[in-house]
């Protein structure tokens, strides 16, 4: 079975998030670029932006959940998200950005990371056992062997002990969907956190920019 979805979508209707969050320091980014390193990232109390030219994933599943978190000031937060899980993912031309607002004497600062800018599949971004908490997505999407409306707890990547340590609050009897494979093109998304068993970035470049918005952030 094959299904296609085109145009802008918000996660409440049919969200799929496919790319990982920002590595918050250059040291982490370099470590990830040099080898297949287990990774768990979030930006305290902040969402971040991600774009990709193309993402190809296998073993996909998705369900709604509430992602708890903590702000930089220590306040507890909670965000409604669509949790997306992949056995494996390959990403071409990935960009990730996060804004640190109101830095004293400087203003807004954007941390920007790019990787996998190559048509050679071996030189793209690769991840295994990837889980992402997404708030909003725009992309063209193509699914194969899709199963919509299944109980979230019955899916291989559904709510359970293996999901980011079980921190998300999700209903195992709630709505879920799964697919054998998925292809997204022209991805623009906002996310809150991600976990990956392994995450390798080829051609990693990380930079800091003064300001925020289009032309400075990924979009």
C-alpha torsion sign, points 82, 88, 91, 95: positive
Q: What is the pLDDT of residue 11?
A: 38
Q: What is the pLDDT of residue 22?
A: 36
pLDDT average, residue stretch 15-42? 46
pLDDT tens digits, residue range 158-183?
A: 665 445 545 566 777 788 889 999 99
Rounded distance between C-alpha atoms, residue 150 and residue 93, angstroms? 32
Say if residue 9's pLDDT is above 90.
Answer: no
Please state, in angstroms and as integers, the Cα–Cα distance from residue 46 to each residue in 15, 53, 169, 214, following that order.
19, 24, 19, 18
- Work out the number of other CB atoms within 10 angstroms of the CB of residue 22: 25
- Work out the number of other CB atoms within 10 angstroms of the CB of residue 203: 15
pTM of this prediction exceeds 0.85: no
Residue matched to tokens 């390193």: 37
Rounded distance between C-alpha atoms, residue 72 and residue 45, angstroms? 6
pLDDT average, residue stretch 120-131? 92
Domain chopping of the chain, boundaries:
2-210
Q: What is the pLDDT of residue 42?
A: 61
Rounded distance between C-alpha atoms, residue 41 and residue 205, angstroms? 18
**How does residue 197 score in pLDDT terms, banded at 50, 70 and 90?**
confident
Q: What is the pLDDT of residue 164?
A: 54
Q: What is the pLDDT of residue 165?
A: 47
């Amino acid at each position: 079975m094959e299904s296609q979805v085109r145009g802008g979508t918000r996660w409440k209707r049919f969200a799929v998030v496919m790319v990982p969050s920002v590595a918050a320091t250059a040291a982490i980014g370099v470590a990830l670029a040099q080898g297949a390193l287990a990774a768990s990232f979030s930006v305290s109390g902040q969402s971040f932006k991600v774009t990709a030219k193309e993402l190809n994933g296998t073993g996909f599943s998705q369900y709604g959940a509430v992602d708890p978190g903590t702000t930089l000031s220590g306040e507890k937060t909670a965000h409604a998200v669509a949790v997306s899980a992949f056995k494996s993912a390959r990403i071409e031309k990935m960009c990730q950005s996060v804004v640190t607002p109101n830095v004293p004497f400087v203003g807004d600062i954007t941390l920007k990371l790019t990787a996998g800018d190559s048509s050679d599949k071996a030189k793209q971004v690769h991840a295994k056992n990837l889980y992402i908490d997404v708030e909003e997505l725009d992309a063209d999407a193509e699914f194969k062997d899709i199963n919509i409306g299944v109980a979230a707890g019955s899916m291989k990547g559904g709510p359970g002990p293996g999901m980011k340590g079980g921190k998300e609050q999700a209903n195992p009897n709630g709505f879920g969907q799964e697919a054998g494979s998925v292809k997204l093109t022209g991805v623009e998304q906002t996310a809150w956190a991600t976990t990956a068993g392994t995450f390798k970035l080829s051609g990693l470049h990380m930079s800091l920019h003064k300001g925020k918005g289009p032309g400075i952030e990924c979009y």
